[in-house]
Amino acid sequence: MFTGLVHSTGSVARIDAGAQQKTFVIASTLRDADLAVGASVCTSGVCLTVTSREGDTFTVEAAFETLELTTLGSLAPGDRVNLEPSLRVGDAIGGHLVSGHVDGVGTLASVDSRGDAREMWFEVPASLAPFIATKGSVCVDGVSLTINRVEGARFMIGVIPHTLEVTTLGARAVGDAVNIEVDQLARYVARILDYAEVGPRDPDSD
């Protein structure tokens, strides 16, 4: 579990590609305590498991499902990624609860400067539109953000200078793909409403 508050950015030092998976070696400044083998690290919105450590780098692996459904498959050496270690009991939740399970890939549709801040519009798959609500929360590339406006399958966020500086959002350009995780509460509300409308499925009806 995570909060969407990015602790630092890392850079992809090396990628080893296999037939059905990729191994990413990431250089970072995260604390040693956050990078124990087996620990979870939210990497640009995707929950990954640390498989090894060496110096200031750590290694994670992503299999075919993750590579197909997130932006990790398009990463290249030198690319920056947002990093957040898993939430510990007693830690402050300054963002919102994030699972690191990406719901879909969105696209940065437009960017406009608002002083030192930026107004950023994202477009998401139509299937995710019902989970996006004004003043609700959304996780974009691992960053917890508040939705300011919604128009169909597009939503707008206002990004302050600090967030632009300490995450990868400041380097995003129109057309870039981003990982989207909708608010968990929205998921459960949708499931409850669906269940109330359809009712329990009879396993013998298949």
pLDDT digits (tens, 9 = 90+) for 84-138: 999 887 777 788 889 999 999 999 999 999 999 999 999 999 999 999 999 999 9
Catalytic residue among 42, 47, 139, 186: 47
Task: Please state, rounded to an integer, the average pLDDT across all residues of the chain.
Answer: 92
pLDDT digits (tens, 9 = 90+) for 3-24: 999 999 999 999 999 889 999 9
Rounded percentage of the chain residues whose pLDDT exceeds 70? 96
Per the annotation, the verdict on 49 as an active-site residue is yes
Per the annotation, the verdict on 63 as an active-site residue is yes
Q: Which two tokens stand for residue 200?
A: 């329990």
Rounded percentage of the chain residues whose pLDDT exceeds 90? 82
- The partner residues of 182 in beta bridges, in order of sequence, read 138
Per the annotation, the verdict on 133 as an active-site residue is no
Mean pLDDT of 171-179: 98
Report the alpha-carbon distance of residue 155 to residue 160 in Å, rounded: 16
Per the annotation, the verdict on 2 as an active-site residue is yes
Q: Enter the pTM of the model.
A: 0.90
The number of C-alpha atoms within 13 Å of 87 and in the hemisphere containing its C-beta is: 17
Cβ atoms of 82 and 9 closer than 8 Å: yes
3-state secondary structure of 197: helix
Per the annotation, the verdict on 107 as an active-site residue is no
| Domains located in the chain, CATH noted | 8-85 (2.40.30.20), 104-193 (2.40.30.20)
